[in-house]
């Protein structure tokens, strides 16, 4: 399946017209139609816009590889983090501030510690 066909599949699965699909990514319906029909190729900018605006998996759109065309949306997680960061609990805020400063090795070590904790809890039950 071509990239144009994948764009059409995305648009149809979202039940959007050419015009509505294009408007959200700053393109006219004629341009979207030409991409879908293989007359014009997708630019990197257009690919990124589609992925960003419609939560499309970049690899799926560009290569067709992968099982899902869409990626999970993290908006709910971001809203929860915003509530914590604007809240009054300093411990919760400082926990997030600390986590974002951790380097990859630190995160791997933290993951191992949490895995060990989970195993200990399982043994207690």
What is the three-state SS of 68-108? CCECCCCHHHHHHHHHHHHCCCHHHHHHHHHHHHCCHHHHH
Tokens read off for 25: 């990514």
For 51-99, what is each residue's pLDDT tens digit? 988 989 999 999 999 888 988 767 667 778 888 888 889 999 999 899 9
Q: Is residue 7 within 8 Å of residue 50, measured between CB atoms? A: yes
Residue 72: per-residue pLDDT: 77
Residue 71: per-residue pLDDT: 86
pLDDT class for 18, splitting at 50, 70, 90?
Answer: very high
Report the alpha-carbon distance of residue 21 to residue 12 in Å, rounded.
10
Residue 115: per-residue pLDDT: 94
What pTM value is reported for the model?
0.60
- What are the chain's domains? 3-63 (1.10.260.40), 75-124 (no CATH)
């Amino acid at each position: 399946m071509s990239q144009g066909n994948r764009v059409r599949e995305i648009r149809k699965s979202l039940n959007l017209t050419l015009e509505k699909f294009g408007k959200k990514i700053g393109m006219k319906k004629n341009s979207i139609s030409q991409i879908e029909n293989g007359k014009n190729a997708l630019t990197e900018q257009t690919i990124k816009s589609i992925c960003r605006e419609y939560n499309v998996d970049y690899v799926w759109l560009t290569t067709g590889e992968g099982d899902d065309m869409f990626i999970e949306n993290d908006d709910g997680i971001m809203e929860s983090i915003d509530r914590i960061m604007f809240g009054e609990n300093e411990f919760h805020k400082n926990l997030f501030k600390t986590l974002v400063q951790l380097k990859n090795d630190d995160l791997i070590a933290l993951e191992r510690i949490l895995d060990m904790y989970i195993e200990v809890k399982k043994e207690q039950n």
